[in-house]
């Protein structure tokens, strides 16, 4: 059987969630390793939560990350359409088939009755489940009520006895008592399927061989297993990957970390670094290496080796990995990247030679484009008072400017001149170097100072230093 995997995101958010990107990567790798196909299907049946443009952004983020799909709503395929809202006619037909087999029934309960039922269950500390009232209605009577236009949904008819068991490729055998499985609504009153019916039908019709999704769906899987059995269909292989967590073990959420792929793109994270990091969250490369490509992952990946413990999404570790990929870029490629991602992109393009010549100064020191912007601003834009971390010693800086105007323009001459100035004025040369750094960059820490000065050139350095005399906070040398 051909290996066919899929992800089925809902266009209800700003973009592709980083957790969905993680699941997409695993699905893609499993399919590619087996020479199969990776499919994207859009599950847009929750019409109340749709976000305009979300589907387009989801597909764009997958493309940017470098997770290509073989079939989907944008490129079609042999089992189109790949958007649930375009497949509505089939869902009703299958739901009616289940009713004919006594595996489903019409439910006419109002929302008010259901709410009252749930409150009663809560008061008695019972699990919130449908009480089966409409299951007792004579099938002919129920059909007549439907034909007369009475508002209704269709529910699964879950067996009252026995267990439903499936084998998870990661977690092993999982069993649920049928008495704990709700008579789930599978077709809503508006004719749209719920997730449970839609996902089973679509996966069957699209010949999905492996269902790989987040662990939050484990409790829903027995419902899906029952539906496969009700229809008499072959059950795909199933795996539930662990949900990504914050360092404090809470579920990954935008309240504590950026969660959209576009957030990381905007901050200058490289797609290959993101994929490498996601791959390493719950799986380890056999030889222990940290840096590896998706193709290298494909060659050795085994889904059964995925850890079941919750992977910690640590932005600091991602920062480290992103820096490793920055370091792989040559100066020209790094300058090109910063010219596209930086907030100073216009100035960088205009001074591309400066961006390229200073690239080796920044590559070892920045982990994302926000850090680059903060550290490299002095190269491209005038500093403001708010940019300075400490007051400037006006007397020292005037001496430094006067010295810079005439000394030979090379590393040794500049260093020797500053040291000689310190000795002659009874000033620690280290303090003079720090004064020069503060005046030039506004920061106490940054790229190598003298290399930055040489890259800028004498005229630009003097211009920046004189401006700092005007805008930086002032600290005057106390009178002797």
3-state secondary structure of 451: helix
- Taking Cα atoms as reference points, which of 67, 69, 65, 68 lies closest to residue 272? 65
> Quick check: 277 and 324 in contact, CB under 8 A?
no
Spatial strand order in the sheet of 104-107: 104-107, 153-156, 185-187
The residues with which 374 forms a beta bridge, in sequence order, are none
Q: Which active-site residues does the annotation give?
A: 254
Strand ranges in 12-161 using DSSP code E only, listed in sequence order: 37-40, 104-107, 153-156
CA distance 420 to 82: 73
Q: How far apart are CA 421 and CA 441, in angstroms?
A: 21
CB 461 within 8 A of CB 453: yes
Nearest to 81 by CA among 29, 43, 27: 43
Q: Are 345 and 339 in contact (CB under 8 A)?
A: yes
Token pair listed for 435: 């004064």
**Closest C-alpha to 442, from 371, 380, 378:** 378
């Amino acid at each position: 059987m051909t290996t066919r995997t899929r992800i089925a995101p809902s266009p209800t958010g700003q973009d592709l969630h980083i957790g969905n990107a993680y699941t997409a990567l695993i699905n893609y790798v499993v399919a590619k390793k087996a020479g199969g196909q990776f499919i994207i299907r859009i599950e847009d049946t929750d019409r109340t939560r749709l976000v305009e443009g979300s589907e387009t952004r989801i597909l764009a983020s997958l493309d940017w990350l470098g997770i290509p799909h073989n079939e989907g709503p944008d490129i079609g395929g042999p089992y189109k359409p790949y958007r649930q809202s375009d497949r509505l006619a089939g869902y009703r037909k299958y739901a009616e088939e289940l009713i004919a087999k006594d595996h489903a029934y019409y439910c006419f309960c109002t929302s008010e009755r259901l709410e009252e039922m749930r409150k009663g269950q809560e008061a008695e500390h019972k699990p919130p489940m449908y009480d089966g009232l409409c299951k007792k209605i004579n099938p002919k009577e129920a059909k007549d009520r439907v034909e007369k236009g009475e508002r209704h949904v269709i529910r699964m008819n879950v067996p009252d006895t026995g267990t439903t068991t499936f084998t998870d490729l990661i977690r092993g055998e999982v069993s649920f008592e049928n008495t704990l499985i709700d008579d789930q609504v599978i077709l809503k009153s508006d004719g749209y399927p719920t997730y449970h019916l839609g996902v089973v039908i679509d996966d069957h019709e699209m010949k999905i061989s492996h269902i790989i999704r987040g662990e939050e769906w484990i409790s829903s899987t027995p419902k899906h297993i029952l539906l496969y059995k009700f229809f008499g269909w072959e059950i795909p292989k199933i795996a539930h990957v662990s949900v990504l967590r914050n360092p404090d073990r809470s579920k990954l959420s935008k309240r504590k970390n950026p969660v959209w792929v576009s957030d990381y793109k905007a901050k200058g994270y490289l797609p290959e670094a993101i994929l490498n990091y996601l791959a390493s969250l719950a799986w380890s490369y056999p030889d222990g290496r940290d840096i590896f490509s998706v193709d290298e992952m494909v060659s050795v990946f085994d889904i059964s080796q995925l850890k079941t413990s919750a992977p910690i999404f640590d932005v600091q570790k991602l920062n480290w990995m992103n820096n490793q990929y920055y370091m792989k870029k040559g100066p020209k490629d790094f300058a090109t990247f910063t010219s596209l991602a930086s907030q100073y992109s216009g100035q960088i393009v205009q001074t591309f030679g400066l961006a390229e010549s200073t690239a080796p100064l920044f590559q070892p020191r920045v982990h994302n484009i926000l850090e680059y912007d903060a550290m490299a601003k002095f190269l491209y834009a005038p500093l403001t008072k708010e940019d300075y971390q400490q007051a400037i010693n006006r007397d020292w800086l005037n001496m430094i400017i006067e010295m810079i105007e005439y000394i030979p323009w090379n590393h040794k001459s500049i260093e020797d001149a500053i040291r000689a100035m310190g000795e002659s004025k009874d000033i620690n040369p280290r303090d003079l170097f720090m004064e020069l750094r503060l005046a030039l960059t506004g920061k106490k820490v940054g790229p190598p100072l003298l290399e930055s000065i040489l890259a800028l050139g004498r005229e630009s350095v003097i211009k920046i230093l004189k401006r700092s005399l005007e805008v930086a906070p002032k600290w005057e040398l106390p009178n002797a």
